[in-house]
Amino acid sequence: MVDRSHKPSAISAKAAGPQPTVDVSDNGVTAKLPTGESVEVLLHGASVISWKSKGEVENLWLSESAVLDGSKPVRGGIPVVFPNFGPAPKDHATSKNPQHGFARNVRWEFLGKSTSEGEASKGSDDSVKLDFGLYSTALSDEARKAWPYDFGLVYSVTLSQEGLRTVLNVRNEGKEAFEFQVLLHTYLRVKDISKTTINGLASATYSDKVLSLPTATQSTPTLSINGEVDRVYKSLAQDTTSVLEGGKPRFDVVRDNLVDTVVWNPWIEKAKGMGDFSPKDGYKNMLCVEVGAVDGWQKLDGGEGWEGGQVIRSLL
């Protein structure tokens, strides 16, 4: 046998580094990265109820009285709003649906997980994606009668060191076209709402539910919260909305194929009136920045699909 002078060396298998862990229970799914980040998703509503950054820092606000047994929507975290936002219009096909639709109040199916590889030198995975599905065939007869369309939803929750990505894919599985709205109702946890501001809304048009204004314009570059706020910002030019605490960046919320953003804080009186909102002064530690498509309707013909979502980055 002739010994080749430039014979390639044998490829040695690199030992796998630490991998994400995924625990599945009857109620939900929890994933954790080797670097400490974690996410927890209930099967009820596919609601994300916890997202922790490295160092066990909780980024989402969850009411202490949130109902997690599937009997009602979750107060806090990231509920999924579909196929209508708010009370459905009386003259629309969604008119018989409950407020904010049915997706947040039915049980979803866990479809599985997938991971992405990190840097080759680390030999470990740096993100994990959890997929959840909801199909028209899984709805109750009552819900099917209220909204009799054939659809399929796949909701993907991806945890990485950089942040949390949540994406909803909607598909019309039937022949008849339907219209829908979608919103990711994110409750961000903040230290002090009086010192929290929002950037990225300057010059945007919005409707103000508190003041009953159908149309107004954001006149300042920064929005401060000093009372009840419930605004729908429409067709935002910037993809990113930033939340600051004491003038320092806390969160970036980046929209993907979603042009609207709802900003909500119930403040004192409305918080007192919600039975599942606690502590009653919890409004001081939460701010909803909710990305969606809620100004008008998205339409899907038979066989068509649509996808939209967000990436939230914790900037601590």
Catalytic residue IDs: 185, 290
> CA nearest 183: which of 109, 79, 41?
79
Residue 250 to residue 235: CA distance in whole angstroms: 24
Residue 207 to residue 233: CA distance in whole angstroms: 7
Count CA atoms within 13 Å of residue 74 on its CB side.
30
Instruction: Report the alpha-carbon angle 12-18-24, nearest 5.
Output: 130
Residue 241 to residue 153: CA distance in whole angstroms: 26
Answer whether the bond into residue 34 is a cis peptide, omega within 30°: no
Two tokens at 132? Answer: 């959840």
> CA nearest 155: which of 175, 170, 140, 138?
170
Q: Give the 3-state secondary structure of residue 301.
A: coil
Q: Is 218 annotated as a binding residue?
A: no
> CA nearest 123: which of 200, 263, 19?
19
Q: Is 165 annotated as a binding residue?
A: no
Residue 135 to residue 118: CA distance in whole angstroms: 33
Q: Is 250 annotated as a binding residue?
A: no
Residue 76 to residue 50: CA distance in whole angstroms: 9
Instruction: Let me know how many helices (H) and strands (E) the chain has, helices first.
Output: 2, 22
Q: Which residues make up each annotated binding site? A: 75, 99, 104
Q: Annotated binding site for substrate, which residues?
A: 75, 99, 104
